[in-house]
Amino acid sequence: MAIKMRILHTPGKKKLYNIANMIKAEYDLSINSVDKIPPAYSCDKERIVILALTGKGDVPDDLRLFCRELTKARAANVALMIDGTPAYADQLKAILKEAGTNVIDEVLYIKLGLPFLASVKPEEKATILAWVQKVTESLQ
């Protein structure tokens, strides 16, 4: 399936980086489709941007500023994969909707575990890829 997709992740989280690259390999995405937040290359006319984040409490300022720039022209749709709380996801959804992009309702909550564990278990891989498939099929 050819789709213009980017997967952006929180810097410093090796497991999120591995998950992003797993999705990239599964969907045969371009070389610069995986990047940290803020990305080296800005989003431009992306069909979907998947934000793989970790956090709790308030959204950090750098992430808030990045999300405010994700307009409809930069990212038609944004999906959230979060290692955190539903309240954190709701804050991000509000920021993204204010920017004008379409936010996918279904948020995937993941547990990263200990910082030095970077491998993705087969059951985690299946869950993540099923969610990505469901999200991409829901796009108009």
In order, the DSSP letters of the chain are ----EEEEE-TT-HHHHHHHHHHHHHHT--TTSEEESSPSS---SBSEEEEEEEE-SSPPHHHHHHHHT--TTTBSEEEEEEEE-HHHHHHHHHHHHHHTPEEPS-PEE----STT--PPPHHHHHHHHHHHHHHHHT--
Whether the bond into 11 is cis, omega within 30 of 0: no
Query: Is residue 2's pLDDT more than 90?
Result: no
Q: Quote the CA–CA distance of 115 and 118 in Å, as a whole number.
A: 7
- For 40, residues 6+ apart whose C-beta sits below 8 A from its C-beta are 32
% residues pLDDT > 70 (the chain): 96
Residue type, 34: V
Residue type, 37: I
Structure confidence at residue 46 as a pLDDT band (50, 70, 90): very high
pLDDT in tens, 85-102: 999 999 999 999 999 999
Topology given in CATH for the domain delimited by 5-137? Rossmann fold (3.40.50)
**Strand pairing of 48-55 and 77-84?**
parallel
- For 78, residues 6+ apart whose C-beta sits below 8 A from its C-beta are 48, 49, 50, 51, 70, 96, 101, 102, 103, 104
Question: What per-residue confidence (pLDDT) applies to 115?
Answer: 66
Whole-model pTM: value is: 0.93
Q: Where are the domains of the chain?
A: 5-137
